[in-house]
Amino acid sequence: MDPFEDVNRSEARMNYLEPQQEEIAQADFEQRLRESRPILAALASPGAGSSRTVTDGNKRAQAIPENERCTAASFVRTRAQLAATLTCANIAELRREIELAAQRSAKWSRASGSSVDRVDSGRVYDDVVASSYVELERFQNHARHCKPHALDRQSAMAHLRSMAALRYEAAPWNIWGGQRLDLGRTAAEHMRGGTGSSPFVSLSEEASQLLLSPDDDNEYGAKAIAENANELHTYTVPRVTTWTAEDIVSILEDGTENDEPALAWVSDTPTEEREVLFLGGNLDDYRTASASNPYKTSGTND
């Protein structure tokens, strides 16, 4: 049965954003993010009687005790973490955000004449990638084979924004709890092989381990996919976009008796597979490597 037909069709319609709507939402979100950045005092025009234009924001900033002020390193690191968790930036976008934040913070040092608070952008990048991203692999026949079967034009960030809106707007009635459970059911159905109406895409923590999967007799099982796919692709995705078996189990534990079969199945997923689901239609934005499948044992697939 189509999981969206059964439990979540209204959510699928509600959460879907047309590409134009998503672009507008993205532009609005990025504008708000820019407005939240600390703004240096603007230089006054010559003859204005002051070397600085003091705004209300400047006054509030100046009133903050020095030992409570954000350091340049903290500012850059926070900007990077926001890029990973709020905008679902890929690693190229993350690096650009870090460089822009570092350039902005460098102005503070020049303005104060201090060279103490210099930012190691490379270290910030490495730390944020290690803490907020995960590298996953996926067997595919072609590069384009990384789209979900449902909501394939809705990006990972659009999904996160929709879920955040549900949590905020529906919190008094706990409607989000029901929507979260429905999405957990869809994720479980996907892991059980019901991918036809799923907004998720399957990946693996370690693709070579799929060869050890016990589902030898299943032509659509993990081992068969590993041995027949043409290519092996690597993706580095924000952790907030991923759903692990442990995540799904945690959600289904709040379900009903009808969820017990799915809960038991996901709980017993072979540890060799380490399947991880990506929620979004833009997985290709996160591709960091691709190669021919080194484990392929059969003829070419189309």
Summarised one tens digit per residue, pLDDT across range 217-255 is 666 788 899 999 999 999 999 999 999 999 999 999 999
Q: Do 206 and 155 share a structural domain? A: yes
How many CA atoms lie within 13 Å of 213's alpha carbon, on the beta-carbon side? 24
In a domain, 19, yes or no: no
DSSP character at residue 8: I
In a domain, 257, yes or no: yes
In a domain, 47, yes or no: yes
Q: Do 115 and 43 share a structural domain? A: yes
Give pLDDT, residue 9: 41
Q: Do 117 and 144 share a structural domain? A: no
Residue 17 near residue 158, CB atoms below 8 Å: yes
Q: How far is it, in rounded angstroms, from Cα 256 to Cα 282? A: 32
Q: How far is it, in rounded angstroms, from Cα 96 to Cα 128? A: 13
- Cβ atoms within 10 Å of 161's Cβ, excluding its own: 20
From 81, 112, 132, give the residue that closes a domain: 132
Residue 116 above 50 pLDDT? yes
In a domain, 96, yes or no: yes
Give pLDDT, residue 4: 35
From 109, 132, 155, give the residue that closes a domain: 132
In a domain, 128, yes or no: yes
In a domain, 11, yes or no: no
In a domain, 22, yes or no: no
Q: Do 155 and 64 share a structural domain? A: no
Number of domains, the chain:
2
In a domain, 78, yes or no: yes
Q: Do 203 and 280 share a structural domain? A: yes
Burial 174-184 (b: 16+ CB within 10 A, else e): eebebbbbbbb
Reported as type and span, the H/E element at residue 131 is helix 121-132
Q: Do 190 and 125 share a structural domain? A: no
Torsion of CA 245, 247, 251, 257, to 10 degrees: 20
The token duo for 94 is 């993350």
From 78, 112, 132, give the residue that closes a domain: 132
Q: Do 54 and 169 share a structural domain? A: no
Q: Do 47 and 195 share a structural domain? A: no
Structural domain boundaries, residue 124: 27-132
- The tens digit of pLDDT for each residue in 164-181 reads 877 766 555 555 567 888
- The tens digit of pLDDT for each residue in 250-283 reads 999 999 999 999 999 999 887 667 899 999 999 9
Q: Do 182 and 116 share a structural domain? A: no
- The tens digit of pLDDT for each residue in 15-59 reads 444 556 556 666 665 665 555 444 433 333 344 444 456 677 667
Q: Is pLDDT larger for residue 286 or for residue 113?
A: 286
